[in-house]
Structure 1
Amino acid sequence: MTCKNCTVALQPDYDFCPKCSQKTNLHRISMHEIAHDGIHYFTHADKGIFSLLRDLVKKGGTVARDYVEGKRKKYFPPINFFLIVAALNLFAINVDEQSVRPDMGREQAMAYYQINNPTQKAAFARIYDRQVEAIDFIKRHSNKTVLIMLPLMALVFWLFYRKGPYNFTEHLIAGMYMYGFCTLAFVAMALLNLIFKVDINIVYTLTLLLQLVYFSWFYRRFMVNTTRLRAFMASISAIATVFVLTGLAVMFYVMGAVNQ
């Protein structure tokens, strides 16, 4: 008898392959097995995603420190966690068409209708259309934008702690847990907002405040010898870097309408 996965010879009393750890007693795949494996993947008592969320709430940066220092079987993998959160973020942003679409506000509408010059009026309309296009683009590609923001944030933290024990990749791992947790909190608030219908800008503001507080606390625990002030400054710098670069990208795109 051989393993169907790696063809290693097996003894009759083996329950698992000694090389690849696959079960030896296999049967045809059923819907029950798929459902069981899926639930087990997310809820495994030792390293399921819910166990990870509990640890990220209680231990913060200690989770990332444990992971980069070798305790990798203990926690749900950071890349898996972050990619799941990115997919949920894409869903949450797009599930409500009106929640993030910049409807023309009262002041903008008044300014638009007070313009008598047809050329200026057309330019105003183009700028507004560009705003809508930019935000729609971010909505459609929000899973990609968080993947771009993550290494930018990790780079800022690495620069702040470049004399520390961790390299850029290890700061990236920390960012997957840290930024992933805050993004998941945004997803939860955005979905709740489908019920409460508050101004979406309030949700974004709360998310930014959560990021600032959680990032600071997280890095205080990830970098054991850091100070609260240093962790706070690194956090606000990382958030500001992403915020400014995103704002500049949108501004340059919107202002392109003026030159048309």
Structure 2
Amino acid sequence: MLPETPMETCPNCSVPLNEDFRYCPACGQTTYLHRFNLGHIGHEAFHALTHADKGILHLLKNLTLRPGLVAREYILEGKRKRYFNPFTFLVIVLGLSVFVNSVFKPYERNISPQSPQTETHGTAPTAAELRKERSRNVSHFLDKRANLVAFAAIPLFALAFWLFFRRSGVNYAEHLVANVFFAGYFQLFATVITLVLSLFNRYLSTLNEQQLLFQLIYLPIAYYQFMGLGRWTGYLKSLLATLLALAVWIAFSTSIISLYIGWGR
């Protein structure tokens, strides 16, 4: 239980504290701690969302208006305290995405319902029936495991951008963190558009096309800013890099899906 009197040592790392310390000199934790109550929880939640310097709403606003500059400041300029942690942001968004997809099942709703079949006791299913069943399995997987798909896509996108800009001095890990920022925002867009289309039950069949269009618009702008490119030729390079990244991901994902549908079990 937290003491009511000033703490002599940091409860987080046990470093000795002076009475005038507002923060621990070793780990940075505040020395003004108190027991949790409902009012404190509400204040902390509101503060985490709206904090002017590093709240999640602050990050969302900047990822909307200046996505590449956010990544550049955080990754290349070392302004880490200014923004909400991108990995935490991605995990939160992916959790929301999995929940929405699990409820509305946008991919399963896009496949035709299984036609009634006559009973064929002892008869093995045909190759066409097996492929249809595997297609349904793929749709079910996409609805239930959108987080795994996103985690698989991010390293491939980062690899494509790193290869394209390999002479820039930005290493692969830095491209990876940048794509965590951009993937988090993209997944939030995908979640919102999935929710809207599912509620109105219209144009759900165009979900993939709308997501692709968003990436074709958002990623070139984001990377144009992140790489500090100038003039229209810089934007063209960013667009070409985006096309390369999308081509790598589409080729990889469609190959895996096609192999499973054609020859999986």
3-state DSSP of counterpart to 1:100: helix
Structure 2 residue aligned with 1:49: 56
Question: 1:64: how far off?
Answer: 0.7
Alignment partner, residue 85 of structure 2: 77
User: How far off is 1:121 after superposition?
Assistant: 7.3
Question: Is 1:102–1:131's contact at 8 Å kept on the other side of the alignment?
Answer: no
Q: Is the 8 A contact 1:152 1:238 kept in 2?
A: yes
2:107–2:142 Cα contact (<8 Å) kept: no
Aligned residues of 1:82 and 1:177 also touching (Cα < 8 A): yes
Taking the TM superposition and a 5 Å limit, the aligned residue runs for 1:82-161 are: 82-97=90-105, 99-101=106-108, 105=112, 122-161=126-165
Overall identity of the aligned pairs, in %: 34
For 2:45 and 2:95, the matched residues in 1 are separated by 17
Paired residues in the alignment total: 250
Distance in 2 separating the partners of 1:77 and 1:24: 23
Deviation at 1:13, TM superposition (A): 3.6
Across the aligned residues of Structure 1 and Structure 2, the Cα RMSD in angstroms comes to 2.4
Which of 207, 232, 248 does residue 239 from structure 2 map onto?
232
Q: How does 1:1-260 map to 2 (within 5 A)?
A: 1-68=8-75, 69-97=77-105, 99-101=106-108, 105=112, 122-225=126-229, 227-256=234-263
TM-score by length of 2: 0.85
Q: C-alpha displacement at 1:176, in angstroms? A: 1.1
Deviation for aligned residue 1:86: 1.7
* Deviation, structure 1 residue 188: 0.8
Q: Deviations over 1:74-125 (max 9, x none)?
A: 111211112222212212221213x22156549x96xx99xxxxx8973222
Gaps of 5+ in 2: 1-7, 118-122
Moved more, 196-205 or 49-58: 196-205
